[in-house]
Chain A
Amino acid sequence: MSEEPPPFSGRGSPLVRLRFSPELRELLVAIVGRVHAARAAAPEELKPPALNHAVIPDPELSAAWAEGLRERENYDTDAFLGLVVNPQFGGADLPVTSSAAEAIARGSVRIRLYLRETLLRDLDTEEIDGDVDIYRLPPAEQQGYACFRLLAHLEEDLILQLDPGLAKS
Chain B
Amino acid sequence: MNPPVGSQFRPLAAATNPGIAPGKTTRAVPALDPTWNVIVLNDDVNLMTYVTHVFRKVFGYDTARARRHMLEVHQQGRSVVWSGARETAEHYLHALQQWHLRAQLESHV
A interface residues, Cβ below 8 angstroms from B: 4, 6-7, 49-52, 56, 58, 60-61, 64-65, 68-69, 72-73, 102, 105-106, 109-110, 112-113, 116, 125, 128-129, 152, 155-156, 159-160, 162-163, 165-166, 169
Knowing A60-B5, A106-B98, A110-B100, say if A152 contacts B47 (CB, 8 Å).
Answer: yes
Chain A residue numbers with a CB within 8 Å of B50 are 105, 109, 155-156, 159
Residue with the greatest number of chain A CB neighbours at <10 A, chosen from B50, B67, B107? B50
Residue with the greatest number of chain B CB neighbours at <10 A, chosen from A49, A69, A73, A156? A49
B interface residues, Cβ below 8 angstroms from A: 4-5, 8, 44-47, 49-50, 52-53, 56-57, 60, 62-64, 67, 93-94, 97-100, 103-107
Residue with the greatest number of chain A CB neighbours at <10 A, chosen from B4, B44, B45, B46? B45
CB atoms of B4 and A51 under 8 A apart: no
User: Which of B44, B47, B105, B106 interacts with A116 by CB under 8 Å?
Assistant: B44
CB atoms of B47 and A155 under 8 A apart: yes
What are 7 inter-chain pairs, A to B, with CB distance below 8 A? A51-B105, A68-B98, A113-B100, A125-B44, A159-B49, A163-B52, A163-B53
User: Which of A56, A102, A113, A163 interacts with B8 by CB under 8 Å?
Assistant: A56
How far is A165 from B55 in the complex, measured between Cα atoms in Å?
A: 13
Would you call the interface of chain A mostly helix, strand, loop, or mixed? helix
How far is A101 from B99 in the complex, measured between Cα atoms in Å?
A: 13
Q: How far is the CB of A62 from chain B (nearest CB, A)?
A: 9
CB atoms of A165 and B104 under 8 A apart: no
Q: How far is the CB of A66 from chain B (nearest CB, A)?
A: 9
How far is A4 from B98 in the complex, measured between Cα atoms in Å?
A: 25
Output the nearest chain A residue to B51 by Cβ-Cβ distance.
A159
User: Which of B44, B47, B56, B100 interacts with A7 by CB under 8 Å?
Assistant: B56
Output the nearest chain A residue to B108 by Cβ-Cβ distance.
A52
User: Which of A160, A162, A169 interacts with B64 by CB under 8 Å?
Assistant: A169
CB atoms of B4 and A169 under 8 A apart: no
Chain B residue numbers with a CB within 8 Å of A105 are 50
How far is A165 from B8 in the complex, measured between Cα atoms in Å?
A: 39
Chain A residue numbers with a CB within 8 Å of B67 are 166, 169
CB atoms of A159 and B47 under 8 A apart: yes
How far is A112 from B106 in the complex, measured between Cα atoms in Å?
A: 28
Residue with the greatest number of chain B CB neighbours at <10 A, chosen from A50, A56, A110, A169? A169
Output the nearest chain B residue to A51 by Cβ-Cβ distance.
B105
Chain B residue numbers with a CB within 8 Å of A129 are 44
